[in-house]
């Protein structure tokens, strides 16, 4: 079985009851009667989640959660511990051991299914198998376990910026006092209006009452925050209304989870349990942030030349087409320069490839320093560079090309390990694209070919010079 739910329950009646509830929601189920069997099946079947009874014949359910969280093969599988009502100490131990959630028996079907949907969404966002795959491909630091296990060398237990939003100031202050001790710092108290106006600031986690000025207003606020670009990656914990309210707390909790809330808390909540849940969500959020950052960095590295740190050929040719299309549409000029280091092979032959690499890095730095941020700069061959200058007429384009040539020859390049220095020169060919090419779909490629022809002319004429091919490409 790939996916599905693993039920870990020694009682056959308990297994049947859970299987019936899950089968009605079209979940495939497997079961284990002991902790040891559960560990074996978790590694073998890779379920989407595991439901664990608090008391197993060979170990406590909390101990099973801890062993799963410590095993890389199962650390990304969320475990929900099922405990007797009122077992506060056991709930705390389970959360501290790595359980993704703790629910009281008999299980509320609506709340259980909502939690499973919430966990499934998080795994689809990359915090489960996706994180492990990203780590294997070099795009992340490693898998994030469901207890929020920190990557080595990181302090993911330190609270970030937390905000409390409640309907009444007295209730907000009570939540603040309850959380300040176990969290190690007091969260901020904010109004709904402040939260919405403050969306650009870095709040990592919001604790929001389900009911603010009116019933359900806190759920609307959470939905709004999770839909805004500035706050969509924040964690949201919803504090449920009193159990004797008009809507059952379990129904509100299920709605909150389905709206995207990361966690739900009772009111009043046990401070230590609430803090463990909040810290777990903070760690999970930070793991997701690292994963997103790793993917962004990986995508960036896919278009960056690893030696000189500028764009590579793959990116440059596509970007040149876009710049050419823009120039064709607007009638504004685009100057295209091809630069080739003169007699670069002699550097490698005389001083070695490490020296050649040092020359390329130094030349790229000199060229980049002489260009505008909007200019395209890329290494498209061994010692060949491409520069595209948007909104540039032929005269200014030639002036930039000459400035680039002078920047390269301004001083010898120092070689590594005190091996001396070498003088470097560059030949440059230029083409210009203007409004005459408005109907051409291959204007970028043709401009590049014209610049290449001009570069060959510069080489034939003795190198270390700029040759324009000024006829519109």
Task: State the virtual CA torsion across 192, 193, 195, 196 in degrees, nearest 10.
Answer: 120
User: Which contacts (CB < 8 Å, 24+ apart) does range 355-359 have?
Assistant: 355/415, 355/416, 355/419, 355/422, 357/307, 358/413, 358/414, 358/415, 358/416, 359/413, 359/415, 359/422, 359/424
Q: Active site includes 37?
A: no
Q: Taking the CA atoms of the chain, what radius of gyration do you get in angstroms?
A: 31
Pull the structure tokens for residue 291: 């994963």
Nearest to 40, CA basis, from 82, 3, 4, 73:
73
Residues 364 and 371 sit within 8 Å (Cβ to Cβ): no
**Neighbour-count burial of 147, counting CB atoms closer than 10 A to its CB (0-12 exposed, 13-18 middle, 19+ buried):** buried
Coil vs helix vs strand at 82: strand
**Neighbour-count burial of 471, counting CB atoms closer than 10 A to its CB (0-12 exposed, 13-18 middle, 19+ buried):** exposed
Strands 334-341 and 384-390: antiparallel
Q: Which of 9, 109, 383, 436 is catalytic?
A: 383
Within 13 Å, how many C-alpha atoms sit on residue 288's CB side? Answer: 22
CA distance 252 to 231: 22
| Active-site residue set | 383
């Amino acid at each position: 079985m790939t996916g599905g739910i693993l039920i870990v329950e020694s009682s056959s009646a308990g297994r049947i009851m859970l299987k019936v509830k899950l089968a009605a929601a079209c979940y495939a189920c497997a079961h284990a009667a002991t902790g040891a069997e559960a560990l074996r099946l978790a590694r073998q079947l890779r379920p989407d989640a595991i439901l664990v009874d608090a008391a197993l014949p060979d170990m406590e359910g909390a101990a099973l959660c801890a062993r799963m969280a410590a095993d890389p093969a199962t650390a990304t599988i969320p475990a929900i511990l099922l405990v007797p009502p009122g077992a506060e100490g056991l709930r705390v131990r389970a959360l501290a051991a790595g359980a993704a959630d703790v629910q009281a028996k008999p299980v509320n079907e609506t709340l259980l299914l909502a939690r499973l949907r919430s966990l499934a969404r998080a795994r689809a966002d990359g915090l489960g198998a996706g994180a492990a795959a990203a780590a294997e491909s070099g795009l992340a630091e490693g898998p994030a376990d469901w207890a929020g296990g920190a990557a080595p060398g990181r302090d993911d237990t330190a609270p970030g910026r937390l905000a409390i939003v409640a309907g009444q100031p007295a209730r907000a202050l009570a939540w603040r006092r309850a959380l300040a001790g176990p969290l190690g710092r007091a969260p901020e108290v904010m109004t709904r209006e402040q939260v919405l106006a403050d969306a650009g600031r870095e709040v990592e986690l919001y604790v929001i009452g389900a009911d603010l000025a009116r019933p359900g207003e806190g759920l609307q606020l959470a939905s709004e925050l999770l839909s805004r670009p500035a706050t969509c990656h924040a964690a949201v914990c919803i504090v449920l209304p009193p159990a004797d309210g008009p809507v059952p707390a379990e129904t509100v909790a299920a709605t909150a989870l389905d709206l995207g809330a990361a966690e739900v808390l009772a009111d009043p909540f046990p401070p230590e349990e609430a803090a463990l849940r909040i810290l777990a969500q903070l760690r999970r959020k930070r793991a997701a942030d690292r994963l997103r950052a790793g993917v962004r960095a990986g995508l960036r590295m896919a278009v960056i030349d690893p030696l000189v740190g500028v764009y590579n050929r793959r990116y440059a040719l596509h970007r040149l087409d876009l710049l050419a299309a823009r120039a064709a549409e607007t009638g504004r000029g685009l100057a295209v320069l091809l630069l080739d280091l003169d007699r670069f092979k002699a550097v490698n032959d005389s001083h070695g490839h490490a020296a050649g690499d040092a020359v390329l890095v130094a030349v790229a730095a000199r060229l980049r320093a002489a260009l505008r941020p909007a200019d395209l700069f890329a290494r498209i061959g061994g010692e060949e560079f491409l520069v595209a200058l948007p909104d540039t007429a032929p005269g200014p384009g030639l002036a930039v090309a000459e400035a680039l040539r002078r920047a390269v020859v301004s001083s010898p390049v120092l070689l590594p390990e005190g091996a001396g220095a070498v003088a470097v020169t560059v030949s440059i060919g230029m083409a210009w694209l203007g409004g005459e090419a408005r109907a051409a779909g291959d204007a970028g490629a043709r401009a590049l070919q014209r610049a290449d022809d001009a570069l060959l002319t510069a080489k034939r004429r003795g190198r270390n010079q700029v040759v324009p091919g000024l006829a519109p490409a």
